[in-house]
Structure 1
Amino acid sequence: MLRERNSSNSYSVFRDLSFRELNRCRVRTRPWLPGVVVENDVIALEHDGDEAIPFALSFCEINGYHHLLAASDEEGYLSLFDTRKVSPSFTSLNRTASRACEWVAHKNAIFDVCWLKGFMCVLTASGDQTIKAWNTETKKCVGTMKGHSGSVKSVSSHPSNPDCFASGSRDGSFALWDLREESSSSVTDRETSISPLAQVKNAHSASKMKRKRGKVASTSITSVLYLKDGVSIASGGAGDSVVKLWDTRNLKSPLTQGCPAPDRSDTKVRTLHGISCLSQDLSGTLLAASCMDDSIYLYDVLNLEKGPRGICSSCDFKIDSFFIKSRISPDAAHILSGSSDGNVYMWQTQSSESAPLKFSGHASEVNAVDWCPSGFGKFATSSDDGTVRVWELREGSSRQRPSPAAASRKRVTAFPFSESSNILGNHTTSDSTPANQRSPTVFSTPPASSSKKRRPDSSPSSVLNPPSSKRTIRDYFLAAHTKA
């Protein structure tokens, strides 16, 4: 795998957390979007003229490459977009803009995508029951993970170790993986693959209560999330609205869990609603759970068992399928979500009871959303209408672009595979560079390191067997506070 470690980032998440949680300092947040102008770029997601429904979006988290957006769809394609390539007019057609390249990553739908930390490598979770790691420079698969017996619905990378990640599947299990593990060959399909380091089956067992028509609640794991301490994993399932927190050093039982109504008598009824998505902010303090009762519950990671500290909902906001996702902004000030009514909703996390902002433009259910890591007000959404939109919230000015609802779809063509190698040239323009001064080169990847297989300094299972310690996520906050 072509990699380059990013060791220049000295930011301490836990120091930030300690001030927020232990000292109870009020974090400065941006105003509630006064006088903003909404701009967006509309891209029709299609392959050889046939429309495809996107399922997942993910912005690259590597500094200098935050403009790269990965999108997956029901046809098994993985597409990369350069979100700086915004046309000056919605009606113009620029066939070299926006989409950088695409390729068939799976022969089945891809339900989730995730960038590995620090590398230009994307994970894809598919309905073919596998997970694949892709080098975005060469568009080559550098690892195939097999171990689930159902569609893989969710994948989440380790917050600091680029070789480790977690996955959740429709088979009711979540698994931990390490790309440094040796691949093995299958007798049946003769394909080499990596097996999971650990797997927890029946992580969210079906409730004894039955749904309508006598159907038992699903055991599917719909979302997994590696927390910022690097040893804890949050999971959510389709059968109930319980969020479980697991310690990867001891996976026999969950460390703690939370649900929407922990102290109410109607808990059994409320917990029947499944979870479609889990997300966290950059510092790891806040955890959001999108629930099938048309609500998003906000939890304090350190007090999960006490129930949600806030609830985001609206009379028009609907979550009618498990494809609808939500994301907390990097600064934890806002939460963004798709909706079955075809709109995008945004709430303030500090006043979730307030009415949300509603963004119109999509013609059908909005499923995936994601925030750009750099800069406030830039995010992407995808919809069953076959489009991906990149939105930007800017301060009011005399020059305003057409409203999102009136925007026409911009059809773009991906570069042929034979030409795609010419796209990945050197390009260091930052996201803040004016559009009229940007180079026409689409994007590049960081300089590649040696392709020889690295010899790990420790056992590949080190994420599961760290030095003897019984510290929990709360201890990381305390340690950071002491150092501060």
Structure 2
Amino acid sequence: MLAAPDSSPSRPVFDNRTNNVQRTLSFLPTPPRGIKRPCDDDDAAAYKRAKLETSSGLGQPGVELLPLARGRLGLRPGMNGHGRRLGLNHFSRPFLESFVCSVKNDVYVCQAEGLMCPPLYASAYSHGSKRGGASLLAVATEFGGVHILNTARRDPWDPEPLRINLQPHNNGVFDVQWSTEDDKLATGSADQLVQISDIASGSVTATLRGHTSTVKSVRWDPTNNSLLATGGKDGSIHLWDLRVGTDTTTSPVASIFGAQEEIGSRKRPASLKSVTGLLYSTDTPYNLISSGTADGLLRCWDIRLLQRRKSGPKPKPVVASGVDPTCLQGSRRPRGIKSICLGTGPTAGSIFGFSADSRIHVYSLDSLAGQENCYFHPKMQTNSFYVGLALNPNGNWLACGGPDGNAFVFDVHNAASVYAEPTEGVRLGMHGQSLGEVGAVSWSVDGLATCLDEGTVRVWRPDLDVYRECQADPEGQKWHWDWSM
């Protein structure tokens, strides 16, 4: 051990040695040239990031582009600073414009007996198809039939996979929904019935009786494969338990009559106000959200407080929209809601509603308050109440039906932000003759399915190379492809 010095070196008492250090950069060991990190494996080849083409506008930080030629929807969102999944932000439009439909392979004809093609009223992809499984699409027709199609991508020389044809009704089917386990289908029809069909056998296993008019909306409870809710033109909402009742017929276990009537009004309405949409809340498992034709207000019901009897005190919603967003765009009267869908991923906590003013309004899931911003396209004007909404599995893109054979896709990844500026949607249409209205729309991980009045289903997939060919030679390619306009 070294001996301690006799005394410490002298210096002024308040000499600033902490905050006034004289430094020099001459001693820093800065290398004269860049040094690469050695590879862990001596035999491994040098890794180099692939550069994206910038001519198409497809390339932004935070998003990895996957192959589009033969894969599924090819975007893998990153994460933002708050841990939420990012959408496609401003460069999503070029990607959405690349959606194309093969006239030969992606068009499915839904014929009935006598080679007739009835209008298609509803469609739904299975839950498995939204997780990467088989692309099974259920399509409901005006004649009461349901076609289950396998819409997976196939080569031009491959035949269409075998389809399953069901006939649960003899009248128009306005909603079709897969059960949580994808083993049953629930269909609501103009015959005032809800039928439960077994996929494996193709037979009707339960008939739900309780509505006095057309059944417009059917929703399975996401937490129980035996519970579901329905709404109809009679203005009522019924809750069902498939474990209750006889072998074939079931009555509702709870009901809400006049669900869309004005809250607190004692006057009997001159006409029934239809229920057009139902959603189970993802935040609260016992909350059911409804929309109707009377106005743009949403209502949330606690199903634990409901009873079966029609007489007695009328149940009140636990939450209701305060301001009608359909009156915020210059309209003198409220407009009804045609269809609603629930946000997921980056849009979790939001509800989208397509109203009779041909605008898509955004609501908060917690308060049901409508935002002033909305999504709109000049060609989206329609008076039909049979136009649907669908959100893709990642929660980034919202599809909507429309007139003249057109469907519309919007980037809604930032819809929950009050500062969001909705952009104009992309119009997907046919470059030939107009074939009526696009009503039902549905997403899988493989693409977007649109259903037309003339009885055909078109599946749209992203393919940038084909889209460029269509842009370069529209007259020649219109016989083989449909693309965005």
Q: CA shift at 1:65, angstroms?
A: 3.7
Distance 1:302 1:340 in 2: 33
| Greater C-alpha Rg | 2
Q: Which residue of the partner structure matches residue 258 of structure 1?
A: 321
SS at match of 2:211: coil
Q: Which residue of the partner structure matches residue 69 of structure 1?
A: 137
Q: Which residue of the partner structure matches residue 194 of structure 1?
A: 250
Distance 1:360 1:397 in 2: 15
Contact 2:215/2:231 (<8 A) preserved: yes
What amino acid maps onto 1:176 in structure 2? Answer: L
**Structure 1 residue corresponding to 2:87, chosen from 26, 29, 32:** 29
Q: Which residue of the partner structure matches residue 440 of structure 2?
A: 368
Q: Which residue of the partner structure matches residue 358 of structure 2?
A: 294
* Pair 1:162 & 2:228 matched: no
Distance 1:107 1:386 in 2: 17
The answer to which of 62-71 and 51-60 deviates more is: 62-71
What amino acid maps onto 1:148 in structure 2? Answer: H
Name the CA shift for 1:330/1:85 in 2 (closer, same or farther; >3 Å): closer
Distance 1:121 1:313 in 2: 35
Q: Deviations over 1:343-383 (max 9, x none)?
A: 111111125621110001262111000111x35xx110101
Contact 1:165/1:226 (<8 A) preserved: no
What amino acid maps onto 2:359 in structure 1? Answer: S
* Pair 1:280 & 2:342 matched: yes
Q: CA shift at 1:330, angstroms?
A: 2.2
* Pair 1:380 & 2:436 matched: no
SS at match of 1:359: strand
TM-score (norm 1): 0.69
**Structure 2 residue corresponding to 1:47, chosen from 112, 124, 127:** 112
Q: CA shift at 1:312, angstroms?
A: 0.8
**Structure 2 residue corresponding to 1:225, chosen from 259, 273, 279:** 279
What amino acid maps onto 1:321 in structure 2? Answer: S
Distance 1:253 1:227 in 2: 17
Contact 1:82/1:98 (<8 A) preserved: yes
Q: CA shift at 1:100, angstroms?
A: 0.7
Name the CA shift for 1:113/1:398 in 2 (closer, same or farther; >3 Å): closer
Q: CA shift at 1:340, angstroms?
A: 2.3
SS at match of 2:163: strand
What amino acid maps onto 2:138 in structure 1? Answer: A
Distance 1:265 1:87 in 2: 49
* Pair 1:150 & 2:213 matched: yes
Structure 2 gaps of 5+ residues are 1-78, 307-314, 415-419
**Structure 2 residue corresponding to 1:355, chosen from 401, 408, 424:** 424
Q: Which residue of the partner structure matches residue 20 of structure 2?
A: none
Contact 1:299/1:309 (<8 A) preserved: no
For 1:388-399, what aligned pairs fall within 5 Å after superposition? 388-396=457-465
For 1:469-484, what aligned pairs fall within 5 Å after superposition? none
For 1:81-480, what aligned pairs fall within 5 Å after superposition? 81-84=149-152, 86=154, 88=156, 97-98=160-161, 100-183=163-246, 192-205=248-261, 218-228=272-282, 229-251=284-306, 252-258=315-321, 261=324, 269-271=332-334, 273-282=335-344, 284-305=348-369, 307-308=370-371, 310-349=373-412, 350=414, 353-361=422-430, 363-372=435-444, 374-375=445-446, 378-396=447-465, 406-407=479-480
Contact 1:111/1:125 (<8 A) preserved: yes
Distance 1:70 1:140 in 2: 15
Q: Deviations over 1:11-64 (max 9, x none)?
A: xxxxxxxx99xx955531134043535234112221231111110000000256
SS at match of 1:249: helix
Q: Deviations over 1:87-106 (max 9, x none)?
A: 527xxxx7x51551212110
What amino acid maps onto 1:391 in structure 2? Answer: W
Query: Which one has more relative contact order, counting CA pairs under 8 Å at least 6 apart?
Result: 1
Distance 1:55 1:259 in 2: 32
Contact 2:400/2:409 (<8 A) preserved: yes
Distance 1:42 1:120 in 2: 26
Distance 1:397 1:294 in 2: 31
Q: CA shift at 1:170, angstroms?
A: 0.8
Distance 1:337 1:74 in 2: 20
| Fraction of identical pairs, as percent | 25
Q: Deviations over 1:162-201 (max 9, x none)?
A: 11111001110011111111227xxxxxxx4101111100
What amino acid maps onto 1:168 in structure 2? Answer: G
Q: CA shift at 1:384, angstroms?
A: 1.0
Name the CA shift for 1:38/1:221 in 2 (closer, same or farther; >3 Å): same
* Pair 1:57 & 2:129 matched: no
Contact 2:134/2:152 (<8 A) preserved: no
SS at match of 1:32: helix
Q: CA shift at 1:407, angstroms?
A: 4.8
Name the CA shift for 1:353/1:205 in 2 (closer, same or farther; >3 Å): same
Contact 1:346/1:358 (<8 A) preserved: yes
Distance 1:115 1:216 in 2: 35
TM-score (norm 2): 0.69
Distance 2:161 2:227 in 1: 30
What amino acid maps onto 2:148 in structure 1? Answer: L
Name the CA shift for 1:398/1:356 in 2 (closer, same or farther; >3 Å): closer
Q: CA shift at 1:326, angstroms?
A: 1.0
Could you say what the CA RMSD is over the residues aligned between the two structures, in angstroms? 3.2
Q: Which residue of the partner structure matches residue 64 of structure 2?
A: none
Q: Which residue of the partner structure matches residue 472 of structure 1?
A: none
Name the CA shift for 1:234/1:407 in 2 (closer, same or farther; >3 Å): farther
